[in-house]
Structure 1
């Protein structure tokens, strides 16, 4: 793609990077075949190629974002399926991230939309605030049908009961038997509140396989939720705390890996080096990013010990976009589940997003609902006894549209190697 930035514009490192990304696009349109929003909406401007044109026009002109550009950029899920498809290697992830930061700096959204985004940024990255909000949400559920779309979506996705708080405070959990690895675990923010059993299962699974697990003092939200809203400084503030916490552990007894069991978080943590490019923390951020691993990457390295007594259930594996496209972790989860004794099946169009995408199902509920319905249809036709995924957002989204238990991959692997039966399967034969 030909670009026409001025020398003055290219003196800005971020603009220069965007220019380099834009120039790699050859207009081939392969991305339109795998873009979920284009599949649903059929609008060229709701495809990666269309959004690239909008971003190029906005940045070259050096103008504030306008309503049209914001509309179509906001509709992007950042699922990154286009990056898996693109034959030219267009770095769409960083281009759309740059566009979102520019939008946040130059465009004033309608009042209701600003308040919604402010509320999400205030609540979701902070477990105690989020837990309190979920308790209040229970009071509003009877009136959900009378509320506007975004508020109704929030209540619809809120659990009927808020799980008891897990043991997620800073500590070191020793390995069982000989120590093979020492890792830090990102316990997350929303996940700690909505399903603390995932972290508990992860810790049991790792320690059972000879891993010492550190819950580092000072660690918190990874920054993904605010990052994808274009709130770059808020995202960096969250990430900065994690980098400091994990750097202390690396400098102390050392860390072989930083384990992430929510793939949306993992994609961002692995990109900390880019998030802090040209910042004082860049070197430390890159060290942290290099150690970040999805749980299934670590378990593949360790090797799954002889499975325990879990039955060979038919498991429909949902590949979270952030795992298969963002991190390019595709075969490990399925191989581990099969090794554990489960029958693993995959839906058609497994590359397409379920519509969760961080806060997308709260900000764009109508499109997210259509994507969920498509995903649920493809999963249901497999006749699964359970659905497995490696990302809490996907689990919540899919569970809202299907009467099949949805559990985290870690819970099934934990169960198969001697841990308890997942809570979601407790009342199933």
Structure 2
């Protein structure tokens, strides 16, 4: 694709990157078949190809209108188009550049601006969000059904992991909303890794991964959150004795961003090198567990023959877009669950988004609900007993549309191993 970017942007790092991405697109249209919004709306401008055309116009200096903003806002950033694209177009990165630019060139309504501001300020604040959820749960019985389903009940309390210290250790990202909505996810992770001879630790000063603000157009605010996390983790990464092996993320929506810290902060003279180091250490929990198979399999074999073991059942696995298209980790979780004795139901069109997409379910509720309902239909064709996933946003969004229990897969593994004692000697693969 030929480009003629404006003088204002063509010589900037963002402009040079956007130019290279635009030139790599051959407008073949393969992306249309896997774009969720195009499948729903049938509008070329609500497809990756159409949005690329709109961003090209903007970068070439043509007028930016509310229509351009609308079609970019409707994008879920699921990146299914990247998985499909034969030319390797880095659509997600182009979209970040385009969204950053459009926030400078257009004005939203005061209501839309305020709504986005509230989302940026309230959701990442763990203390406030926890309080807000407490108040919402108190009023939950008085709400109509469709609103009641959007407020999850208070999660059951979970036993904290043991205090046993191992020679191996890993950091864990607690996240913004997950500690309030599903605290057992990280507890379960710590208990499973404890059985594998790994201590899980948390840096208290670490907070939001930065994705929320960054993808809402407040990119510098998002980068500041990333810098704070790097500062919080750095002492654990660089300590002379027993530095952490990895930074674990149990929410794939956060993981895909933390793995991108090196790219996002590449032009920061103070943080570029640190960010690249942090990104290289970041692992989704599925990667960590898959790497410990030699230790895990004997424990699962013992669990499957134990009378006290949690029962096995048929489940449908929803692989979040951030896991399969963002981090390219399709197929990591299934073998683990199968080794644990679970039966996996067939899922129709597993590449399609559930409609959660961070704050998308709040900002684009109608489209989001349509995508959710389609995904639930696809997940339940073989009548599974529950749905498992790997991201808190997907988990809460899907749960609002089904009576089936929707859980993080690591909790199921934790329950399976609950009554199994690890071997006294844990073999190390490091």
TM more than 0.5 = yes
Distance change in 2, residues 1:173/1:294 (3 Å): farther
**Where in structure 2 are the equivalents of 1:174-253 lying within 5 Å?**
174-175=164-165, 179=167, 181-252=168-239, 253=242
Q: Pick from 253, 256, 265: which aligns with 1:264?
A: 253
Q: Pick from 253, 275, 278: which aligns with 2:267?
A: 278
Unpaired runs of at least 5, structure 2 = 304-308, 421-430
Alignment RMSD (CA, Å): 2.2
Distance change in 2, residues 1:268/1:60 (3 Å): same
| Cα offset, 1:172, TM superposition | 10
Distance change in 2, residues 1:73/1:172 (3 Å): farther
Structure-2 residue corresponding to 1:255:
244
**Where in structure 2 are the equivalents of 1:367-382 lying within 5 Å?**
367-382=367-382
Q: Aligned equivalents of 2:419 and 2:392: distance in 1?
A: 20
2:316 is paired with a residue of what secondary structure? Answer: strand
2:403 is paired with a residue of what secondary structure? Answer: coil
Q: Aligned equivalents of 1:101 and 1:167: distance in 2?
A: 43
| Cα offset, 1:7, TM superposition | 5.3
**Where in structure 2 are the equivalents of 1:75-154 lying within 5 Å?**
75-138=74-137, 141=140
1:402 is paired with a residue of what secondary structure? Answer: coil
1:61 is paired with a residue of what secondary structure? Answer: coil
Unpaired runs of at least 5, structure 1 = 147-151, 421-429
How many residues were matched structurally?
407
Q: Give per-residue Cα distances to partners, 1:64-94, cap 9 Å, x unaligned.
A: x420011000000000100000000000111
**Where in structure 2 are the equivalents of 1:158-173 lying within 5 Å?**
158-159=151-152, 161-163=153-155
Q: Aligned equivalents of 2:284 and 2:85: distance in 1?
A: 24
Structure-1 residue corresponding to 2:321:
321
Structure-1 residue corresponding to 2:400:
400
**Where in structure 2 are the equivalents of 1:292-303 lying within 5 Å?**
292-303=282-293
Q: Give per-residue Cα distances to partners, 1:173-216, cap 9 Å, x unaligned.
A: 544xx64x321001111111111011110110111111111111
Structure-1 residue corresponding to 2:423:
none
Distance change in 2, residues 1:405/1:419 (3 Å): farther
Q: Do the aligned residues in 2 keep the contact of 1:321 with 1:352 (CA within 8 Å)? A: yes
Structure-2 residue corresponding to 1:426:
none
| Cα offset, 1:145, TM superposition | 6.3
